[in-house]
Amino acid sequence: MERNDEMGSRDEDEDDEEGQDAGAAKDKAWDEMDWDGKGLLLKNSDRLRYQDSMDRILLDQPEVPECPLCREYMLLAGQETMGDNQFKAHTAEALDKPLLAAPFALDVYVCTSCFQVSKVLAEPHREALMDNVRNSKSE
């Protein structure tokens, strides 16, 4: 700051202004060069394409959960069906029947960044689960 003021008072004409503009342009060019110089150009276009496609996929996705680990958006990869032989239902003390009875489906989501997998109870089974909670035994 102080040094700039000193230079300004020394020149005191339009040359000073031109000098500043040239300096700013040079800085910008250097930034871009440095960015490309590190070999990031190709990686960036790959990443942009990935991001672009992802955005389009996510637009059609009814639910977009966030990754519990890195907070990136997760893509719906498919559904897993839980059958009787895979799932042993638990009946809570306060309930007459199991909270969740097989068969039911889970939506399987994959993180687009760290590939963590998350499973969420699929839509048609949520209401049933909430009903089971609502119908807890009254004392």
Q: Would you tell me which residues interact with Zn ion (CB under 5 A)?
A: 67, 69-70, 72, 111, 113-114, 116
Cβ distance to Zn ion smaller for residue 23 or 68: 68
- Residue 81 C-beta: closest distance to Zn ion, Å: 25
- Residue 64 C-beta: closest distance to Zn ion, Å: 13
Cβ distance to Zn ion smaller for residue 67 or 82: 67
Torsion of CA 124, 55, 112, 75, to 10 degrees: 10
- Residues 70 and 51: their CA atoms lie apart, in Å, by 16
**CA dihedral over 62, 76, 88, 85, signed as positive or negative:** positive
- Residue 118 C-beta: closest distance to Zn ion, Å: 9
Q: What angle do CA 73, 74, 75 make, to 5 degrees?
A: 125
Cβ distance to Zn ion smaller for residue 22 or 69: 69
- Residue 110 C-beta: closest distance to Zn ion, Å: 9
Collapsing DSSP to helix, strand or coil, 78 comes out as strand
Cβ distance to Zn ion smaller for residue 101 or 110: 110
Return left, alpha or beta for 109; rule: phi > 0 is left, psi -120 to 50 is alpha, else beta: beta
